[in-house]
C-alpha cells in the first residue's frame, strides 16, 4: 500500500491521525510491558544452566552440519528436501533424550542425591557414540577428530551438564547417581587407594613417613626370614634409610605405629592356631528375652520421657514420698537421677508439700519481780568498750545465794559519768600485737640473736616492745623453760 495517500490524509485530518497514532503507540507499549512481565515471571534456571544449554545447542548444530554432509555423500540423499527432513534425526533424538533425562533427574532428586537420568541419560551417550562415525567418514582422521570432539562429544557433555547442573547449584552436597558419576567416583577412590592416598587430610611429610614406615616393616620382616644372603647388606641399608625417613626415632607415635605393624606381621602365623569359639555351638536368642512385667513396661515408658518429666510422673504416682525416695524409685525404673535433680524437677512442676507445723507449747507468763530499794545500778551508754572490761575476769557469782535483786536505771543527761579505774593485773595490748602473721616473724629473729640461750618473758618484752602473750609465745617456740 503506498504511503503517499496516508500522509496526505493525515495532513488533511490531523486530529484523527494523532488519535490513531496515540492509540497504536499505547497498544505497543502495553504489549511490550506485558511481554516483559511475562518474561520476568518465568522461573528461569541459573545462569550456568543457560550457558551450558546454549553451548549444547551450538555443538548440536555443529554435529548437524556433519550429518548433512554425511547424508549426501554416504547415504545418497541428493534431494535437498529429503535431506532436510532426515539429516537431523540423530540431533533431534539427542535433544529429546537430554530433555527427558533432565526431567527424570529433577523428579528423582532428594536432599542427599542429585537424582538419576534413567534410560534417556544412557541413550544420550549411545547417540553421541553413533554420531562420531559420520565425523570420521566425512573428514578423515584429523578432521573427523575435530568434528567428533566439537560436535557430538561436546554436545553430549554439555547436555549432561545442563540437565544436572541446576540441581548441583541448588544442593551442592547432593551426589549424582548417574552412570558416569558413579563410575568416575569408583575409579577415583580405587586410584587413590592404589597410590596409597586413601587417608585424607594428611600433609606431604606425613604421607612420606607412613610410606617409609610400611617399607621399614616389610624389610624388617624379610630380614627376619632370610637374615643371610648376598642381598642382606643391601636390605639392611634400605631398612636403615626407611627407619630414618619415617621419623620413628624422634616421633613416639610413629615409633609405636612401626612397632605395632612389625609385631602384627611377625606374629601373623599365629592366626591359624588362635582358639575361637564356634558360632554354631551357641543357642538361638529367644524372641522376647525380657518378659513384659508391669515394672518393665513402666520403666520402658518412663525411659522414653525426659528425666525431669519422668520424675514428675513418679512424683504424681507417689505424692507422699520424699525427694530421696523418688530418686530411688526413678533409678529402679531405669531412669537414674539424683536427689538434686528430683528437687529441681519438683520445683519446676509440682511443689513439695510443706510439713505441718508442730504446735508450740504455751508458756505461762512469768510474773515481774518487785524491785527492791536496797541497790541501784546506773547505766551509761558509751561508744567504746572500756579497757578494764576487754578481758573479762571470771567471777564465781553462782556459788552464793542472791539475797537482793539488782535493777538498772538510766540517769539524767546532766549526770556526770564516773571515772573508770583499771583492773589490777590487766594490761593494754600493744598495737604491733594486734595483727601478727602466723608464724610470728620475731621467732626467727630471736632464734638468730639468742640461739639456744633462750631468755625469759621480761627480756623479750623489753627487747622487742611486745606484750606478755606474744613474748610467751616466742619463748615457747624457741624451747625456753617455763
- pLDDT tens for residues 63-102? 888 888 888 888 888 888 888 878 778 888 888 888 888 8
210: its cell numbers:
607412613
Closest to 213 (Cα-Cα) out of 184, 248, 181, 187: 248
Across 3-108, the runs of DSSP E, i.e. the strands, are: none
DSSP 433: G
DSSP string, 350-417: SPPPPPPPPPPPPPPPPPPPPP-SS-EEE----SS--GGGTSPPP---SSSPP-S--EEE---TTSPP
The pLDDT score that the predictor gives to residue 178 is: 63
Sign of CA dihedral 260, 262, 264, 266: negative
Q: What is the dihedral of CA 80, 85, 91, 96, to 10 degrees?
A: 170
- pLDDT tens for residues 149-170? 998 899 888 887 776 655 555 5
Q: Which residues contact 31 (CB under 8 A, 6 or more apart)?
A: none
Alpha carbons 135 and 152: distance in angstroms, whole number: 9
Quickly count: other Cβ atoms within 10 Å of residue 330's Cβ.
Answer: 24
DSSP string, 90-123: HHHHHHHHHHHHHHHHHHH--SSB----HHHHHH
Q: How far is CA 313 from the centre of its chain?
A: 33
The pLDDT score that the predictor gives to residue 353 is: 47
Alpha carbons 259 and 356: distance in angstroms, whole number: 72
The pLDDT score that the predictor gives to residue 426 is: 45
Count how many Cα atoms sit within 13 Å of the Cα of residue 405 in the half-sphere of its side chain. Answer: 8
Are 379 and 408 within 8 A, CB to CB?
yes
Distance between start and end Cα atoms, the chain: 146
Count helices and strands in the chain by DSSP H and E runs: 18, 2
Continuous H helices in 110-203 = 118-148, 154-170, 179-194
Closest to 305 (Cα-Cα) out of 276, 340, 347, 337: 337
Are 371 and 405 within 8 A, CB to CB?
yes
Averaged pLDDT in 10-residue chunks for the chain of 482 residues: 70 82 88 84 77 87 88 84 81 85 80 76 86 89 90 86 63 64 84 77 84 91 84 88 90 89 88 81 57 66 83 86 86 82 71 51 53 51 50 47 51 46 50 71 79 78 80 78 60
For the chain, give the longest Cα–Cα distance: 156
The pLDDT score that the predictor gives to residue 417 is: 44
Residue with cell 617455763: 482
Residue with cell 515408658: 301
Closest to 150 (Cα-Cα) out of 57, 64, 59: 59
Q: What is the pTM of this model?
A: 0.36
DSSP string, 268-281: GGGGGG-----TTS
Alpha carbons 125 and 160: distance in angstroms, whole number: 9
The pLDDT score that the predictor gives to residue 217 is: 92
Amino acid at each position: 500500500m503506498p504511503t503517499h495517500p496516508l500522509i496526505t490524509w493525515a495532513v488533511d485530518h490531523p486530529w484523527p491521525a494523532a488519535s490513531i497514532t496515540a492509540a497504536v503507540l499505547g497498544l505497543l507499549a502495553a504489549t511490550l510491558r506485558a511481554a516483559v512481565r511475562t518474561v520476568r515471571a518465568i522461573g528461569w534456571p541459573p545462569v550456568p544452566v543457560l550457558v551450558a544449554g546454549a553451548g549444547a545447542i551450538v555443538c548440536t548444530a555443529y554435529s548437524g552440519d556433519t550429518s548433512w554432509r554425511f547424508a549426501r555423500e554416504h547415504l545418497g540423499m541428493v534431494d535437498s528436501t529429503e535431506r532436510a527432513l532426515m539429516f537431523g534425526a540423530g540431533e533431534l533424538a539427542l535433544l529429546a533424550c537430554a530433555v527427558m533425562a533432565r526431567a527424570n533427574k529433577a523428579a528423582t532428586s532428594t536432599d542427599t542425591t542429585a537424582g538419576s537420568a534413567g534410560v534417556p541419560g544412557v541413550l544420550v551417550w549411545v547417540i553421541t557414540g553413533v554420531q562420531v562415525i559420520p565425523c570420521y567418514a566425512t573428514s578423515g582422521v584429523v578432521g573427523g577428530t575435530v568434528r567428533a570432539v566439537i560436535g557430538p562429544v561436546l554436545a553430549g557433555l554439555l547436555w549432561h551438564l545442563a540437565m544436572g547442573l541446576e540441581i548441583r547449584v541448588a544442593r551442592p552436597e547432593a551426589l549424582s547417581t548417574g552412570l558416569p558419576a558413579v563410575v568416575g567416583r569408583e575409579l577415583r577412590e580405587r586410584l587413590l587407594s592404589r597410590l596409597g592416598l586413601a587417608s585424607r587430610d594428611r600433609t606431604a611429610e606425613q604421607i612420606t613417613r607412613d610410606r617409609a614406615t610400611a617399607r621399614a616393616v616389610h624389610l624388617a620382616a624379610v630380614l627376619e626370614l632370610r637374615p643371610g644372603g648376598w642381598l642382606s647388606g643391601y636390605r639392611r641399608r634400605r631398612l636403615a634409610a626407611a627407619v630414618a625417613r619415617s621419623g620413628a626415632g624422634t616421633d613416639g607415635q610413629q615409633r609405636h605405629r612401626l612397632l605395632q605393624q612389625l609385631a602384627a606381621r611377625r606374629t601373623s602365623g599365629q592366626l591359624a592356631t588362635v582358639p575361637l569359639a564356634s558360632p554354631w555351638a551357641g543357642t538361638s536368642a529367644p524372641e522376647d528375652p525380657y518378659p513384659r512385667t508391669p515394672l518393665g513396661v513402666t520403666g520402658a515408658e518412663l525411659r522414653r520421657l525426659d528425666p525431669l518429666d519422668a520424675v514428675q510422673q513418679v512424683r504424681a504416682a507417689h505424692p507422699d514420698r520424699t525427694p530421696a525416695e523418688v530418686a530411688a524409685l526413678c533409678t529402679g525404673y531405669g531412669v537414674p537421677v539424683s536427689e538434686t535433680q528430683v528437687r529441681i524437677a519438683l520445683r519446676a512442676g509440682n511443689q513439695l508439700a510443706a510439713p505441718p507445723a508442730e504446735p508450740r507449747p504455751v508458756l505461762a507468763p512469768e510474773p515481774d519481780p518487785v524491785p527492791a530499794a536496797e541497790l541501784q545500778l546506773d547505766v551509761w551508754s558509751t561508744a567504746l568498750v572500756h579497757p578494764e572490761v576487754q578481758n573479762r575476769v571470771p567471777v564465781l557469782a553462782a556459788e552464793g545465794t542472791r539475797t537482793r535483786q539488782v535493777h538498772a536505771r538510766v540517769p539524767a543527761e546532766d549526770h556526770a559519768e564516773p571515772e573508770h579505774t583499771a583492773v589490777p593485773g590487766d594490761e593494754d595490748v600493744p598495737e604491733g600485737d594486734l595483727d601478727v602473721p602466723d608464724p610470728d616473724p620475731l621467732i626467727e629473729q630471736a632464734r638468730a640473736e639468742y640461739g639456744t640461750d633462750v631468755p625469759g618473758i621480761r627480756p623479750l618484752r623489753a627487747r622487742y616492745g611486745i606484750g606478755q602473750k606474744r613474748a610467751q609465745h616466742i619463748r615457747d617456740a624457741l624451747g625456753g623453760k617455763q
